[in-house]
Structure 1
Amino acid sequence: MLHYQERAFRIMQLTDIHIGSFPFVTEDLQTLAAIKKAVLAVKPDLIMVTGDLIWSDDVEQPERGYQALVELFNQLPFPIAVTYGNHDAEDTMTRTHLRQLEAGLKYRVPKQHAFVDDRDKEAYTLEITDEHGLSHVLYVIDTGNHAPGSQTAYDYPSAQQVTWWRQTQADYQANQDRPILDLAFIHIPLPEYQQAGEHQLAGFFWEQNPRVSCGQLNSGLFAELAQDDQLKAVFCGHDHDNNFVGTYLGKQLIYGNVSGYNCYGDLPRGYRLINLQPDQFTTAVIPYQS
């Protein structure tokens, strides 16, 4: 379980790391070194990785990239949690295999309310407590790879995951004796990120074709989130040239910042830092320091 220290709870969001084939190219080695330096500088209370840890399509032994990340994070004594993206489980990799590799993370935070749907996509929560009890719930939802029956269209939260959200959120609220502030983490953005991009508070909306690479089907997850007064923001990855903070229907829809060098994108590589307090949060993109 995660617990507040005497300051704000600091979440370091890494996304789209994209470690490739072994032996690793210069860009991959640069990524690994930059992550290590940044984590040691921030000393986060939680490292939250929101997908595309590796390239797996047409990559021999893609697990070598994941194992390199496990070895790196095991050198860094900070809690870590992971969800997956569209490039993590392609070709020979499966999401079951990814979770088996994930189990090697020494500082992995225990998952609560863990659920795996019929397409092998996991959803779970992380709980943050303070001296008064539960203070924050972090909802982590694997948004998948390709949509059912397609090799090109992006996936979307399944109906089972939407039901899981509804039931899990109701369970938490039924057992709370005070209001709390919750966040959600995914990889593929929800369709409503397009509307949020029209109401930017910070960051860049540089992706072009399309500007928001969401699933073609809107499965209704945001409609559920919008009704939850405690859920304040959703953080995603996926689009390497977006890192904006936007707002839509009272919720902040936020991109992380591309963290790996072995992939497309013009944004400076780095991470998103989230400073979480009992009744509010702030967030900013932090480029890697050379």
Structure 2
Amino acid sequence: MKKLKFNENGQFKIVQFTDLHVGAYPFVEEDLQTLKLMEKTILEEKPDLVVVTGDLIWSEGVKDPLKSYEVVLDVLNKTGIPFAIVHGNHDTEENITRSDLLKMEETIEQALSKDGEDIKGRNNYSIPIYTSSEETVGSVLYMLDSGAHDLYEIGTYEWILPEQVSWFLREAKTYHEDSSNKIPSLSFFHIPLPEYKNINLSNETVGVKNEEICSPELNSGFYTALFEQGDVMATFVGHDHDNDFCGNYHGISLGYGRVSGFNCYGELTRGARIITLSEQKYSFQTYLKLSNGEETNHYTHHESTRKEVIS
């Protein structure tokens, strides 16, 4: 995995794309627009890292979805910018498996998902971001596969598994020796947590909620693990194309990206989320960069105001 670090100004920039929904190859015009949006955004923003939070392709009804996935990865790879992927529910609906996706990613130079831990067919990995001096880890990105469709038919979508929650807690401990040494971190996955439904859409929340939040019906406790572990400042997801809000929930920001694919449902202007981390600060800034060039929905996560337990 390529060593990522904060720049000399103490900044680290991430571009988040989500829900590309690229269809069968050769691509229709809408898919070509999606790829152009990605290339244009990366060229203009010059990020340190690109993150794609699931549903890169349509696989249902597509004869050769691996070819479509190959082209999308090639577009990302040619930018020369490292990129990280988590899979979504539409990526493996038909004629392709998550193992197929990962095998393809493993052949791509700039892909960072190669060294993940497979948990019941889901790839999970962390990405350390080093300080500008490269002496210590200044931030960590936790990348989790939130699954696809609920096989128990309790609801529509799966949840982050208890085994993945345990993985996160173990993984977080590898980055610091004691619980007092918190490292400002983020987590990316596709399907929103049930806690997204608890966000108060007030003046402190930036963005819109234009559709129902399609989270799992069962709560596997990942938010509670994030809260008690204390490092993660925010989670960023996709999945719901007409939602793009970001708001604080008990000290952790719960945010959406902006739908990036033109070949799928949704009324919002296509775009990407830009996230800028500041070295050794428990805060970040983020906004949406739209396909028309507009920058909107600026949001800042400040130092956590949550109550701490004094022992």
TM-score tier by shorter-chain length is: over 0.9
Q: Where does residue 64 of structure 1 map in the other structure? A: 67
The alpha-carbon distance between structure 1 residues 77 and 61, as it changes in their structure 2 partners (threshold 3 A), is: same
Q: Where does residue 161 of structure 2 map in the other structure? A: 158
- The residue matched to 1:194 in structure 2 has which SS? helix
Structure 1, gaps ≥5 residues long = none
Q: Where does residue 39 of structure 1 map in the other structure? A: 42
Structure 2, gaps ≥5 residues long = 294-311
Is 2:98 the counterpart of 1:95?
yes
Structure 1 stretches of 4+ with a deviation exceeding 6 A read none
**Residues 179-217 of structure 1: CA deviation (Å, up to 9, x unaligned):** 42010001000000011253552111111xxx1101111
Q: Percent identity?
A: 38
Q: 2:8 aligns with which of 6, 9, 13?
A: 6
Q: 1:284 aligns with which of 273, 287, 292?
A: 287
- What letter is aligned with 1:6? E
Matching of residues 131-280 of structure 1 within 5 Å: 131=133, 132-150=135-153, 153-174=156-177, 178-199=181-202, 200-207=204-211, 211-278=212-279, 279=281, 280=283
**Structure 1: distance between partners of 2:186 and 2:114:** 15
How many pairs align?
285
- TM-score normalized with structure 1 length: 0.93
**Residues 1-21 of structure 1: CA deviation (Å, up to 9, x unaligned):** 211112310000010011001
- RMSD of aligned C-alpha atoms? 1.8
- Please say if residues 110 and 126 of structure 1, whose CA atoms lie closer than 8 Å, have aligned partners that are also in contact: no
- Please say if residues 21 and 261 of structure 2, whose CA atoms lie closer than 8 Å, have aligned partners that are also in contact: yes
Shift of 1:247: 1.5
**Structure 1: distance between partners of 2:285 and 2:110:** 25
The alpha-carbon distance between structure 1 residues 152 and 263, as it changes in their structure 2 partners (threshold 3 A), is: farther
Q: 1:15 aligns with which of 4, 18, 38?
A: 18
Matching of residues 68-83 of structure 1 within 5 Å: 68-83=71-86
- What letter is aligned with 1:88? D
- Please say if residues 187 and 238 of structure 1, whose CA atoms lie closer than 8 Å, have aligned partners that are also in contact: yes
Q: Where does residue 116 of structure 1 map in the other structure? A: 118
